[in-house]
Each structure stands twice: as structure tokens, then as C-alpha cells.
């Protein structure tokens, strides 16, 4: 695979060059299981480094505040058209700088301070931007939190009961650590009954939805926000899709309501990513992400791990590691020592703390981009078990690290020689 040139950086700034080279080596030699990460194509890396980074283009295609917009208009219109086609959206805004700003801009588009929002509890899979008390957004709106059932599934009856009781202005679905399918039709029915708007945050699963591997909320919901850098495999960034009746409010909310100039180099990279998503290769990729997750589910269950939500329908698994004599923090550390990157994560109603929770979250998108398939997933599952059980044994962790490195050499990372 071609690598992206760093010759100018090397000649000009050795300190930064060394950091980039170090990161390339880390990405190449280690096994990336963080469910929200992925590897972009060399074309996307090039677009991010393009001269579009020089340009101010406040406003939208055809309606800008500065001159010289022929090509920024072209590239932004292209990104919008492609995204509309992929998801079947009435309207798309590709300017949000990332997932969190996309969510904030979406709230600003439809809510007044003090309005009530019904969203999922963070420990049950929700995101910080869905009203966690540590965020400023939680000071602005009245967030009410629903939870999953004891079996770990979304409790639609509870959502219905809470919606009737609290009469929210907005009902929010879409999660960071939830591994099951979502019934958008059912949520929409509840929302219609109480007169609430609907918003889905598909940051994690957008790529699976784009490829037809999971239910698509875009034709059903009022607002759909996403990142572009997780399963969608584009540059770091955000996007808002909405029904026609909210188009003006969303655009005004993103700019000038919340952000300044858009990052057109990122938007060019988003356009390229959407072009990739429309190919058959990407469809196969999305299918393989799910197959790989399913194999890890089976394998880890057979190894005695407790899987939250009873398993997975998407690209991720939330695993309670305490039955293996480790905390989430210890498991994350041991796996890091063994060359496997995961993140510690709260499990539903976790009795432990966020900095040392009971679980870890793993995902298959990055490994799948490298071309790893079912056989590798079985091997990785065994390593996870061995590393967690061997957390106090440096020899075991060192041995796994060498085996991981050996396997990774067979699966190149796009853009890294
Ligand atoms: C990742 C994520 C976000 C935030 O995206 P950033 O790009 O990190 O700001 C928002 N919502 C959900 C559900 C996410 O998983």
C-alpha cells in the first residue's frame, strides 16, 4: 500500500517528524480494538493535507461570506450530494467539526434552554453529549435518562412510560457502547404520541447503516447526527442529517450559531470517504466487520467472558472482565502491554468508578480494515483471555506482544509503509 509522503516534515521539523513516525510504528505493530477507531485510505490522508486548509469559507455552497469559493463550493456540494444519496436524507450539513459539536448544534437547532430531553444513561451505552452531568449541555437542558433492561436491552416500555410522564421535546437514541439493533419505528411512534422530535446519534454505526447492515433511522427520524471517522472510515469530523422542515434551522445552528469557518480540507476528505462508502468493496468491508464481531462474541463467550447486552448485532462488544479477576483498568493495562489496544468502559449500573470500571469495550472496524478475518478473530480472542489472566506475568504479556507483532506484519495499515 502506498505511504503518504512526509519528506517536507522530515526536512523541516524533526521533533514533529519523530512523533509521527512513532505513531505510525505504533499503529502498524499493535492491534487496534478501540471500537471508535479506524484507518483511513491514503487518498483521505492526502485530502486532509491539501490546500483547502488555507481557505475561509463561512456560509454554505453558493452563499459564502468570502470570495474565491469556486472549488470549496464544488467539494462541499459533492460531499452533501453523496451523503444524501447514501443515507436517503432530505438535507445534510457536513460542516460540524466532530461528533460532539454536531450534537450540540443539533440541540441548538430545535431546543430552548430548559427543554426536556430523554436520552440513554451513559453507563448503559449513552454518550457524554447525551446529557452527562459533567457537560455544559446538561446545565442548559433538562436531561432525563432511560436505562436498558436487566437483560441489557433497550427498554421501549420504559421509554414510553417516561415519555408520557415527562413530555420531552426531544427523544434521543444512538449509543457509544451498546451492541444491539435499535427499533427506530417504535421510538418514532412513542415520540409522535407525546409530540416529541426524534434524534438518532449514529456516530458508531453510520458505516454499518450506510452499507445496509443495520436499520437506517434517516428516513424515519427528524435529526440524525454522526461522526465520519468511526465505522464510516472517513476523516475526523461530524455531520447532521435532517428532514426538510429542519434544514434551515440546522444550517443556521451550525453556522453562524455555533461554529466559524468550516474545515474544507476535512470536507474534501469526507467527500472521498463517501465515495468509498458507495463501492461494493465497502459493502463487503461492513459485512466483514459484523462477521468478525460475531466470531469474537462466540469465542469470548466460550472462554467464559460475560458479554453485556447478551452479545452483538454491530461492530462492538462490551465485556465484564471482573469474572476473570481483573478490573477494566487492569485489563486495559495488561492488553496494552501485550500490544492490544482497548478501552476500559462502564457496564450498565456499574458498581465501580469510570476511571476503574468493570468492563472493557472492543470493536472490529480497524482490524477488519487491515484485512483480518475469522481466523484472526479467534486468535485475538485467545490473546485477550491469556493477557487478562496473565496480567501479573510479564513473560506472558511479552510473549503475546511478539505474537501480535508477527501477525500484524501480515496485515498492512493503509497509508503506512
Ligand atoms: C464518538 C461519539 C460522539 C462524539 O464524537 P467526537 O468526534 O469524539 O466529538 C458522539 N456521540 C456518540 C454516540 C459517539 O459514539
Q: Indicate the top mutation candidate among 97, 201, 227, 234 to test ligand 1's pocket, ranked by most ligand atoms within 8 A of CB.
A: 227
Cβ contacts of 139 within 8 Å, gap of 6 or more:
none
Q: Kindly indicate whether the domain formed by 46-277 is annotated with CATH number 3.40.640.10.
A: yes
Q: How far does residue 395's CA lie from ligand 1's centre (Å)?
A: 37
Q: Annotated catalytic, 282?
A: no
Question: How far apart, in whole angstroms, are the C-alpha atoms of residue 78 and residue 96?
Answer: 16
Closest-CA residue, ligand 1 atom 6, reads 99
Atom number of ligand 1 nearest to Cα 100: 9
d(CA 110, CA 126): 20
Could you write out the DSSP letters of every residue in 226-247?
A: EESSSTT--SS-EEEEE-GGGH
pLDDT of residue 414: 93
C-alpha cell at 297: 462474541
**Treating both helix axes as pointing N-terminal to C-terminal, what angle do 14-29 and 394-409 enclose, rounded to 10 degrees?**
90
Q: What CATH code would you report for 290-408?
A: 3.90.1150.10
Active-site residue, 227 included: yes
CB within 6 Å of ligand 1 — which residues? 36, 98-100, 103, 127, 129, 174-176, 201, 203-204, 227
Domain ranges of the chain: 46-277, 290-408
- Give me the helices (H) in 167-242, please: 184-194, 206-210
pLDDT for position 2: 56
Number of the ligand 1 atom closest to the C-alpha atom of 230: 1
Q: What is the pLDDT along the chain (417 residues), one digit of tens a residue?
A: 457 789 999 999 999 999 999 999 999 999 999 999 999 999 999 999 999 999 999 999 999 999 999 999 999 999 999 999 999 999 999 999 999 999 999 999 999 999 999 998 877 778 889 988 899 999 999 999 998 876 778 899 999 999 999 999 999 999 989 999 999 999 999 999 999 999 999 999 999 999 999 999 999 999 999 999 999 999 999 999 999 999 999 999 999 999 999 999 999 999 999 999 999 999 999 999 999 999 999 999 999 999 999 999 999 999 999 999 999 999 999 999 999 999 999 998 899 999 999 999 999 999 999 999 999 999 999 999 999 999 999 999 999 999 999 999 999 999 898
Question: 382, 354 in Cβ contact below 8 A?
Answer: no
How far apart CA 212 and CA 209 sit, in angstroms, is: 5
CA–CA separation, 201 vs 168, rounded Å? 17
**What's the pLDDT at 153?**
83
Run of H or E including 17: helix 14-29
Which pLDDT score, from 0 to 100, does residue 157 have?
93
Q: Are the C-beta atoms of residues 374 and 293 closer than 8 Å to each other?
A: no
Number of H helices, E strands in the chain: 16, 15
The pTM of this model reads: 0.96
Instruction: Work out which ligand 1 atom sits closest to the CA atom of 175.
Output: 13
Alpha helices, DSSP H, located in 66-149: 70-87, 99-110, 137-140
Amino acid at each position: 500500500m502506498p505511504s503518504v509522503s512526509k519528506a517536507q516534515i522530515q526536512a523541516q521539523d524533526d521533533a514533529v517528524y519523530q512523533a509521527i513516525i512513532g505513531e505510525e510504528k505504533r499503529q502498524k505493530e499493535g492491534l487496534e480494538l478501540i471500537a471508535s477507531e479506524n484507518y483511513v485510505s491514503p487518498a483521505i490522508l492526502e485530502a486532509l493535507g491539501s490546500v483547502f486548509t488555507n481557505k475561509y469559507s463561512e456560509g454554505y455552497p453558493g452563499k459564502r461570506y468570502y470570495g474565491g469559493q469556486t472549488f470549496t463550493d464544488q467539494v462541499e456540494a459533492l460531499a452533501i450530494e453523496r451523503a444524501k444519496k447514501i443515507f436517503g436524507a432530505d438535507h445534510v450539513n457536513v460542516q460540524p467539526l466532530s461528533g460532539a459539536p454536531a450534537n450540540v448544534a443539533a440541540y441548538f437547532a430545535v431546543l430552548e434552554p430548559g427543554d426536556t430531553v430523554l436520552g440513554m444513561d451513559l453507563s448503559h451505552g449513552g454518550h457524554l453529549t447525551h446529557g452527562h452531568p459533567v457537560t455544559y449541555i446538561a446545565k442548559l437542558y433538562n436531561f432525563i435518562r432511560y436505562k436498558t433492561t436487566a437483560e441489557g436491552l433497550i427498554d421501549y416500555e420504559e421509554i414510553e412510560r417516561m415519555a408520557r410522564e415527562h413530555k420531552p421535546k426531544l427523544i434521543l437514541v444512538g449509543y457509544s457502547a451498546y451492541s444491539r439493533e435499535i427499533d427506530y419505528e417504535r421510538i418514532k411512534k412513542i415520540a409522535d404520541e407525546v409530540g416529541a422530535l426524534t434524534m438518532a446519534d449514529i456516530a458508531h454505526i453510520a458505516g454499518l447503516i450506510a452499507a445496509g447492515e443495520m436499520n437506517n433511522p434517516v428516513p424515519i427520524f427528524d435529526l440524525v447526527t454522526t461522526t465520519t471517522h468511526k465505522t464510516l472510515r472517513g476523516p475526523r469530523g461530524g455531520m447532521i442529517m435532517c428532514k426538510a422542515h429542519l434544514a434551515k434551522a440546522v444550517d443556521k445552528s451550525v453556522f453562524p450559531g455555533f461554529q466559524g469557518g468550516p474545515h474544507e480540507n476535512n470536507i474534501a476528505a469526507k467527500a472521498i470517504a463517501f465515495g468509498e462508502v458507495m463501492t461494493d468493496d465497502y459493502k463487503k468491508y461492513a459485512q466483514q466487520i459484523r462477521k468478525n464481531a460475531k466470531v469474537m462474541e462466540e469465542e469470548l463467550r466460550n472462554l467464559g467472558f460475560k458479554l453485556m447486552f447478551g452479545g452483538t448485532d454491530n461492530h462492538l462488544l462490551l465485556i465484564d472482565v471482573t469474572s476473570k479477576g481483573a478490573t477494566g483498568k487492569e485489563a486495559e493495562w495488561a492488553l496494552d502491554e501485550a500490544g492490544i489496544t482497548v478501552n476500559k468502559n462502564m457496564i450498565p449500573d456499574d458498581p465501580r468508578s469510570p476511571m476503574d470500571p468493570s468492563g472493557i469495550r472492543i470493536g472490529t472496524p480497524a482490524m477488519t480494515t487491515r484485512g483480518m478475518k475469522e481466523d484472526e478473530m479467534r486468535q485475538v480472542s485467545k490473546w485477550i483471555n491469556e493477557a487478562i489472566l496473565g496480567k501479573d506475568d510479564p513473560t506472558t504479556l511479552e510473549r503475546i506482544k511478539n505474537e501480535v507483532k508477527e501477525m500484524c506484519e501480515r496485515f498492512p495499515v493503509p497509508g503506512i509503509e
